[in-house]
Amino acid sequence: MQLKDTAAVVTGGASGLGAATAAALAAQGATVFALDLPSSIESAPAVDGVVYVEADVTDEAQVRAAVGTAADSGVPLRTVVSCAGIGPSMRILSKKGTHDLGLYAKVVQINLVGTFTVLAVSAEAIAKTEPLEDGQRGVIINTASVAAFEGQVGQVAYASSKGGVVGMTLPAARDLAQHGIRVNTIAPGIVETPMLATVSEEFRAGLASGVPFPQRLGRPEEYARLVTMLVEHDYLNGETIRMDGALRMAPR
């Protein structure tokens, strides 16, 4: 599937993986609608072909409005990429007591329920477009994490949410096959994103040393490149692809 003269939606599109993805899709000729919170959009870079839209993925009405804007842009909505997410850390039991249940629910609500909301609402819009060759109408790409497979100490909420994203990939692809919509998931390892901006170079070097090869942190641009490959490769469907340099996370 080609990106030129199509519309794309990217959640979490104002920074990190989302910003790199939005820029990469725009460079391929797509009109990109980058969804994010107002506070994130304020500091987002201006990129040709990228339109920022205020939307909270946990608010169905806001998601519907944002997706509607993309669907009514004058070119068909073909690509949706979910990058919005949070990753707080907390143990189930600690000196402070049990894991904050509200925090657990918040992580699942944003990372998993938010991803599903974007998927479902976007699929409805994509299904209304004219089919391409082989009946294809579009592709939805979600973001999981290697924590879905090897969650570390303190990552129970994050790993639960990302494991849910992995778990819904194949059934979502099967559900949407009749509408010509592919569904894939990327599970990144340790990527150089704003979440790591506050840690020291020494700490980053320690993280990189655990990656077999190449022995460095991943780059947002590499995630974006994988997104464009998944868009263009029409036979990749229902897959979760790890992007981690062969990293397998230790317990801590």
- State yes or no: is 223 an active-site residue: no
b or e along 32-55 (b: 16 or more beta carbons within 10 Å of the residue's beta carbon)? bbbbbeeebbeebeebeebbbbeb
- H-run or E-run covering 241: strand 240-243
The residue written with tokens 């600690």 in the block is 94
CB atoms within 10 A of CB 101: 9
User: What residues contact residue 237 under an 8 Å CB cut-off, 6+ apart?
Assistant: 173, 177, 182, 183, 184
CA distance 67 to 70: 5
The CA dihedral of 189, 222, 172, 149, to the nearest 10 degrees, is -10
Q: Of 80, 81, 101, 82, which is closest to residue 90 (Cα–Cα)?
A: 101
Q: Which of 52, 104, 158, 223 does the annotation list as catalytic?
A: 158
User: What residues contact residue 21 under an 8 Å CB cut-off, 6+ apart?
Assistant: 10, 13, 81, 83, 220, 223, 224, 227
The residue written with tokens 């099967």 in the block is 174
Active site residues: 158
